[in-house]
């Protein structure tokens, strides 16, 4: 079997059997597509050896790819060839001794609570004009931060997923796992205002009679896409973080850090974020610790 065909079978396995998200599957496929280009599009799966894999990673390094990218490609290759071996497509796994660089630990971008308060106040002021897009943007920002959602989760939220009486939202996270997440009074007010005065106006702009289930709509009445959310966050939250190169995850990172700063239990934060592993959540304890140390060094006379 040629390498390209095997990769497509593996991608189908990840999507249909492992039930990984489309974003994750695309990332895996892109990593292995890079390998296909390196060894040749017509290469046979069982002819790929350890030396070719090492040369592929070395080429990735020499062209300036980050340590995280090379480490991710190493993991993708190991996962792919392990699957191929277990599926009987190859007799020997060439990636068993493939070693990539360790990922550098990078701390997520976090905005301070006062800075985010200013951002959300400005969004509320804009929404007070009654403009449908401003009402939507305010609700988007409040829910992203208030419920610490991923952008994919936010864009998939349906009207039926929101319970404003209990101030909760049902979302589908990674691996197709559902969870119910609480949000605060400001988010509830913003969502109510958008649902009553903003969403109907946006829905009326649609060029089809087919109803859209998603809560958040674009300017043309269709479901709001991740790219629009990225643009919104870059424009509004970017200055609070200090760079326009910031996405919706900055609000998720900030919410998790602020919860821990406020004394929330780590396992409760894990449940809110939908992390499968507590270790993934623990990075936010490091963020809080870094801020504590920074504040101490700035403020303590004996620091």
Q: Are residues 217 and 225 in contact, defined by beta-carbon separation less than 8 angstroms?
A: no
Can you tell me the distance from the alpha carbon of 87 to that of 250, in angstroms, rounded to the nearest whole number? 40
Tokens of 199: 């969403």
Per-residue pLDDT, averaged over 137-143, amounts to 96
Query: What gap in Å lies between CA 278 and CA 267, rounded to an integer?
Result: 7
pLDDT tens profile 107-121:
567 788 899 999 999
Whole-model pTM over 0.75: no
Tokens (6 digits) for 13: 């396995």
Please check whether residue 121 is in contact with residue 184, taking contact to mean a CB–CB distance below 8 angstroms: no
Distance between first and last Cα of the chain: 64
pLDDT digits (tens, 9 = 90+) for 281-292: 666 666 555 555
Q: Which residues are marked as active site?
A: 150, 174, 249, 252, 275, 284
Domains and CATH numbers, the chain: 3-86 (1.10.150), 113-297 (1.10.443.10)
pLDDT(245) > 90 = no
Give the model confidence (pLDDT) of 188-219 as tens digits. Answer: 999 999 999 999 999 998 877 677 899 999 99
Cβ–Cβ under 8 Å, residues 212 and 222:
yes
Q: Please write the tens of the pLDDT for every residue from 80-134.
A: 999 999 999 999 999 998 887 766 555 567 788 899 999 999 999 999 999 999 9
């Amino acid at each position: 079997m040629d390498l390209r065909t095997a990769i497509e079978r593996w991608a189908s396995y990840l999507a249909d059997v492992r039930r990984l998200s489309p974003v994750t599957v695309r990332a895996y496929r892109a990593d292995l597509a890079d390998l296909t280009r390196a060894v040749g599009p017509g290469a046979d799966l069982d002819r790929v050896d350890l030396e070719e894999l090492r040369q592929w990673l070395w080429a990735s390094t020499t062209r300036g790819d980050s340590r995280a990218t090379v480490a991710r490609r190493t993991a993708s290759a190991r996962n792919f060839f392990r699957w191929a071996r277990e599926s009987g497509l190859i007799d020997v796994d060439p990636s068993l001794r493939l070693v990539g660089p360790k990922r550098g630990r990078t701390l997520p971008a976090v905005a301070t609570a006062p800075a985010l308060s200013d951002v959300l106040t400005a969004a509320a002021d804009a929404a007070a004009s009654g403009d449908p897009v401003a009402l939507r943007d305010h609700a988007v920002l409040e829910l992203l931060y208030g419920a610490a959602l991923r952008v994919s989760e936010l864009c998939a939220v349906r009207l039926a997923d929101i319970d404003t009486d209990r101030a909760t939202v049902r979302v589908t996270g990674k691996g197709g796992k559902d969870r119910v997440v609480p949000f605060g009074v400001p988010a509830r007010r913003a969502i109510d205002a958008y649902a009553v005065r903003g969403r109907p106006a946006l829905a009326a702009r649609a060029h089809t009679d087919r109803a859209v289930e998603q809560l958040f709509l674009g300017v043309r009445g269709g479901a709001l896409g991740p790219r629009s959310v990225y643009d919104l966050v870059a424009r509004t939250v970017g200055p609070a973080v200090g760079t326009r190169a910031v996405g919706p995850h900055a609000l998720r990172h900030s919410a998790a850090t602020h919860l821990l700063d406020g004394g929330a239990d780590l396992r409760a934060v894990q449940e809110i974020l939908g992390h499968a592993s507590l270790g993934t959540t623990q990075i936010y304890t490091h963020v809080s610790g870094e801020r504590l140390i920074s504040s101490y060094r700035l403020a303590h006379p004996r620091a």
